[in-house]
Structure 1
C-alpha cells in the first residue's frame, strides 16, 4: 500500500479548508444579492391585486434603489475577489464566467450612455407641458389667450408625430375634440426624435443580455467562484434591462422582451429575480401599443395628464364652460411634471456613477485575473534542462 507524504496530505487539507471558506463567502454574497432583490419587490399585500390594479414597478424611486443595490453588490463582489485565492479564478468554469463578466461590463457602458442621454433629454421634453399647465390658472382658464398658449405648447410635443394631419391641427390650435382618444391610440413620438439610433436602448441592450448562462460543473473551487461571478453578471444584466425598459427608445420593439436571467431555482436570489422580471414583462404587455415611450411611471403619468388636459380643453370656445375642470387637469399635469423633474436629475447622476464604477471595477477584476496568471506562472515547475541528443 502506497502512502502519501505528510506534506502532501497537509497541503491537501489546506486546499479543502480554503475551498470551504470560499464557498461560505460565496453563499453569503449570494444571500446579500437575494436580500437586495427582495427589497425591490412590492409589499406582499400588493401581490394579490389584479394585474390591472397593480402599481407600476418601474418608478424613479425603484430605479434609484436598483442602482444602489447594484453598486452595493459590486463593492461586496470586489471585496470577495480580494479574499479569493488567486488560483480559483483560473479554474473552470470561473475563468469563463470572469471573461463573460468583463465583456458584459463593457457593453453595459453603452446602455448607461443611452439611458443617461434619455434622462437628460427629459429635462427639455416636458418643458412645454410645464408651460401649458402654468398658463392655465384657475381664474384664466376661460380666456382665449392662455388657452391658445397652452394649445401651442402642447402642440410642440406633438410636432414630431408621424401623423402630420394631426400635428398640423394641434399646432394650429384647431379642433381638439376627441383628442384624448387620438392621443391614446397614436402615441406621441415627441421624445424619440431626441435620441440617436446609435445611442438607443433598443440597440444597446441585446449585446448585454447575450450568452448569460449559469455555470455548470468544473473544478473544485472554480465552480464556487463561478457562482459568485454569475450572480454579479446576472444582477448587472437585469439592471441594464430594467433601465432600458424604463426609458423611451427610438427603436423599441412592439413585443415584450424575454427575461434576461434564467437562474437555476436553487440559487438564493433566483425567486426574487424571476418575480421582478415577470412584473416588468407584464407591464410591458399592458403598455399602449405602438408607444416608443418606456415604462417609467412618472413619464407615463405626464403623457396621461397631457391627454386628459387636451380632451378637457376641447375645441375652441368650448373650454369657457368647463374652466374649473380645465384648471383641475392643468394642476394634475403640473404635479406630474414636478415629480418627473425632481427625480430625473438624481437618477441621471446615479447612472453616471454606475458608468464610472463599472470602468473601475472592470479594471480591478482584470488586475485580479492578471495576478492569477502571474501566480500560476510562479507556481509552475521549472522546465527540465535541455539534454543533447
Structure 2
C-alpha cells in the first residue's frame, strides 16, 4: 500500500534525475554563453575607450609656454603613428580573444570590408609620404648650404653668391610643393636612383597595384557608422569602425602635413563623422577641427608641416638680408644671426625626418600584416558560422 502511494504521480527516480541533469546542464550552458557574450562586450567597449585615450593624448597641451608641440609637426605625426600602431596591436589582440566568430555577423561583416579597403589605400599614402619625406631632404639641403655659407661674421663675395644660389633653389622648389623642383633636379642623379630603390623596397611585399609611383591618393571621406545588427555583431562592428576611423584619420593628417608633388598644401574635408555617443568621437572631431583650422591659418608655399614652414620663414628673412645681387642689404652681424636661425630650423627638421620615415615604413608593413590577419579571421569566422548552429535559447 505504501509503495503504491509513493509511486503515484511521477516516473521512476532515474528518469527524474536525468531530467534534472539535462535542465542543469542546459542552464549552465546558457549561463556560459551569456557570460562569454558579456566578456566580449566588455572587451569591445574597453578597446573603444583605449582609442579615445590615445586620441586625447594627441591634443597639444596648453601651458605658460604655449603648446608643447604644434599640430602637423614632426612630433605630432610621430605620436599619431605611435597611437595608430598601438590601436592596431590591441585590435589584433582583440581578434585573438574569442572574438573572431563575431566578424561574420551583421553589421560587423560590412565594417570589416571597409577596414580592408582602407588598409589597401593606406599603403598608397605611406608610399607617397615616404617619397615626399625623401625628397624633402634635398629641399632641406639647399637651406643648410645657404645657412652654412653665411654663418661666418664677415662672408666674402664667394659665400654670398653661394648662399644666394642655394636660396634661389630653395624657393624655386616651393610653389605648390617643396618637392616638385627638387625631385625633378635630383631625379636623374644618384639620389633619384636611391629614392627609387628605397620605394621599391617599401613596396616589395605587396602587389603591383599598390605602386609607389602613383601620386598621393585621395583619402576616402566619411566613414559610415554601423547601426543595428545581430547580438555581438554590433559591438564588433563598432570596434572595427573605431580601427577604420583611426586609420583614416592618420592617413588624412599625414597627407595634409606632407604634400605630394601632384597637389598643393591643405587639408581636405574631415574623413570621419562619428556619432557623439562613441567614447572617442569627441577627441576625433576635436582633432579634425583643429587640423582643418591650422590648414586654413598656415597657408604657405612650403606646405603645412610646422618644421617646413620654419625653414621657409627663416630662409625668406635671410634672402631679404642678403638681397638678390650686389652688396648685402643688412649688416654682417644681422646676416649671421639670420643664418643661425635658418641653421637651427634645418636642425629641427632634420632631427625629426629619420624617425618619421622609419615609423611610416613600420606602419606600411604593419598594415600589410594586419590586413592578412583580418582576412584570415574573416575566413575562419565564415567557416565557423556555416558549420556551427546558434546555441539554443534558454527560457
Scaled to the shorter chain, the TM-score interval is 0.7 to 0.9
Match of 2:50?
Answer: 32
Q: How far off is 1:314 after superposition?
A: 1.9
The answer to whether residue 135 in structure 2 is matched with residue 117 in structure 1 is no
Match of 1:126?
Answer: 140
- Aligned pairs for 1:258-337 within 5 A: 258-288=269-299, 291=301, 293-319=302-328, 322-337=331-346
- Aligned pairs for 1:209-224 within 5 A: 209-210=220-221, 212-224=223-235
How many pairs were matched up? 342
Distance in 2 between residues matched to 1:256 and 1:69, nearest whole Å: 20
Distance in 1 between residues matched to 2:109 and 2:29, nearest whole Å: 23
Shift in CA distance, 24/362, structure 1 to aligned 2, threshold 3 Å:
same
Match of 1:166?
Answer: none
Q: 1:200 aligns with which of 192, 198, 215?
A: 215
Match of 2:247?
Answer: 236
Distance in 1 between residues matched to 2:76 and 2:119, nearest whole Å: 22
- Aligned pairs for 1:55-74 within 5 A: 56-74=70-88
Shift in CA distance, 376/128, structure 1 to aligned 2, threshold 3 Å:
same
The answer to whether the 8 Å contact 2:81/2:360 transfers is yes
Structure 2: state its 5+ residue gaps. 1-21, 188-211, 391-395
Q: How far off is 1:188 after superposition?
A: 6.8
Q: How far off is 1:41 after superposition?
A: 0.4
Q: How far off is 1:155 after superposition?
A: 1.8
Match of 2:196?
Answer: none
Distance in 1 between residues matched to 2:273 and 2:279, nearest whole Å: 13
Moved more, 32-41 or 79-88: 79-88
The answer to whether the 8 Å contact 2:106/2:229 transfers is yes
Match of 2:170?
Answer: 157
Secondary structure at 2:361 match in 1? helix
The answer to whether the 8 Å contact 2:60/2:70 transfers is no
The answer to whether the 8 Å contact 1:70/1:239 transfers is yes
Distance in 1 between residues matched to 2:271 and 2:339, nearest whole Å: 40
Match of 1:180?
Answer: none
Match of 2:351?
Answer: 342
- Structure 1 residues 49-108: Cα deviation after superposition (integer angstroms, max 9, x where no partner): 8xxx99631111111111111111101100111113433111100011111111110111
The answer to whether residue 381 in structure 2 is matched with residue 367 in structure 1 is no
- Structure 1 residues 106-125: Cα deviation after superposition (integer angstroms, max 9, x where no partner): 11100000001111111112
Match of 2:364?
Answer: 355
The answer to whether the 8 Å contact 2:56/2:283 transfers is yes
Match of 2:15?
Answer: none
Considering only aligned residues, what root-mean-square deviation do their CA atoms show, in Å?
2.7
Q: 2:121 aligns with which of 81, 103, 107?
A: 107
Shift in CA distance, 42/211, structure 1 to aligned 2, threshold 3 Å:
closer
Shift in CA distance, 325/32, structure 1 to aligned 2, threshold 3 Å:
same
Q: How far off is 1:38 after superposition?
A: 0.8
- Structure 1 residues 184-229: Cα deviation after superposition (integer angstroms, max 9, x where no partner): xxx474423428995433xx133xx245111001111000011110
The answer to whether the 8 Å contact 1:132/1:330 transfers is yes
Q: How far off is 1:322 after superposition?
A: 1.2
Match of 1:173?
Answer: none
Shift in CA distance, 217/88, structure 1 to aligned 2, threshold 3 Å:
same
Greater Rg over alpha carbons, structure: 2
Distance in 2 between residues matched to 1:133 and 1:56, nearest whole Å: 24
Secondary structure at 2:218 match in 1? helix
Q: How far off is 1:12 after superposition?
A: 4.0
Moved more, 233-242 or 280-289: 280-289
Distance in 2 between residues matched to 1:64 and 1:255, nearest whole Å: 19
The answer to whether the 8 Å contact 1:158/1:188 transfers is no
Distance in 2 between residues matched to 1:305 and 1:188, nearest whole Å: 19
Match of 1:378?
Answer: 387
Match of 2:151?
Answer: 137
The answer to whether the 8 Å contact 2:322/2:328 transfers is yes
Distance in 1 between residues matched to 2:102 and 2:178, nearest whole Å: 52
Distance in 2 between residues matched to 1:343 and 1:226, nearest whole Å: 36
Structure 1: state its 5+ residue gaps. 162-186, 382-389
The answer to whether the 8 Å contact 2:142/2:169 transfers is yes
